[in-house]
Amino acid sequence: MSRFRLVRFFWIVAPPRSYLIVVLLLLAAGGIYLEFQAPGSSEMAIIGILLIQLFAVSTGFTALASRGYFDPALTSGRSRASIVLAHLLVSASPVGVAWAMVGVVEVLRAGSLDVVAFRPAGLAGLFLVSTVPWALTLRLPALTGGALWLLVMVGMGVAGKLNGFLVARLEDRWFSLHPWRALGFGLAFPLYVPSIHWAPLTLASYVAIAAIAVCVGVIYVRAASFPLAEEN
């Protein structure tokens, strides 16, 4: 099974949820509309897309694999790493498309690549939110990773941490002076990551955390034992 066929297999067997795709299209359309009304005004659509990504990538793996849905992939001769990365690609792709749609319009309206969607902070935020919930949900029921992260956000907001973060947002200098505290804020409220001018160390930390999440997911699937229907 080629890489393309592997991706196609997951798109057929475990496709992204249709209702999330509809919401993403609406958010992308709203972001594009806002950009045409006033350049740079699509930030709320970007935040909405990241929120949907928390759940879109929380597709789960073990439950379907244990029921035999992924047997053709697991017995295809492809490495487990290729299989799980194809699963990640399919899970994250709808948001990637919506993000790119809004980003392209941002670039056209601004006449520059220095827009929210394509800044290092925007790409790091997308990478972070696309990988951590996915890895968390590999062994758990679908949507769990996104729900857990959203629960943390709500809990931190109720505890009053969000107010401090919003005040800190007004001073970009704060994020350079306190990179580790800024990292904690970003992990607690990842939807704001694209909107902030982070210190390089903080941005690198987000990318490293996302990469570690992917590696953990690959290691888990490689080590896991899934009952294959043809072995029963």
pLDDT tens figures, 161-198: 666 666 555 566 777 777 888 888 889 889 989 988 88
**Is 90 exceeded by the pLDDT of residue 230?**
no
Question: Residue 225: CB partners within 8 Å, gap ≥ 6?
Answer: none
Q: How much is the average pLDDT of 195-206?
A: 90
Helix axes 179-188, 161-169, angle to 10 degrees: 120
11-20, 157-166, 211-220: lowest mean pLDDT where?
Answer: 157-166
- Distance of alpha carbon 80 from alpha carbon 13, whole angstroms: 17
pLDDT greater at residue 2 or residue 112:
112
* pTM of the complete model beyond 0.85: yes
What average pLDDT is seen over the chain? 88
Q: Give the amino acid at 175.
A: F
Angle among Cα 89, 27, 154 to the nearest 5 degrees reads 85
Q: What is the pLDDT of residue 159?
A: 67
Burial of residue 17 (number of CB atoms within 10 Å: 0-12, 13-18, 19+): middle
Q: What is the pLDDT of residue 207?
A: 96
Q: How much is the average pLDDT of 215-224?
A: 93
Residues for the chain: how many in total? 232
**Residue 9 · residue 72 · CB < 8 Å:** yes
Q: How much is the average pLDDT of 53-73?
A: 91
Tell me the pLDDT band of 68, cut-offs 50, 70 and 90: confident
Phi, psi dihedrals of residue 97, rounded to the nearest 5°: -65, -45
pLDDT greater at residue 176 or residue 11:
11
pLDDT greater at residue 199 or residue 211:
211
**Is 60 exceeded by the pLDDT of residue 231?**
no
In our burial notation (b when 16+ CB lie closer than 10 A, e otherwise), range 181-199 reads: ebbebbbbbbbbbbbbebb
- Distance of alpha carbon 218 from alpha carbon 195, whole angstroms: 30
**Is 60 exceeded by the pLDDT of residue 232?**
no
**Residue 197 · residue 172 · CB < 8 Å:** yes
Q: What is the pLDDT of residue 168?
A: 57
Per the listing, tokens 């990241």 go with 50
**Is 60 exceeded by the pLDDT of residue 226?**
yes
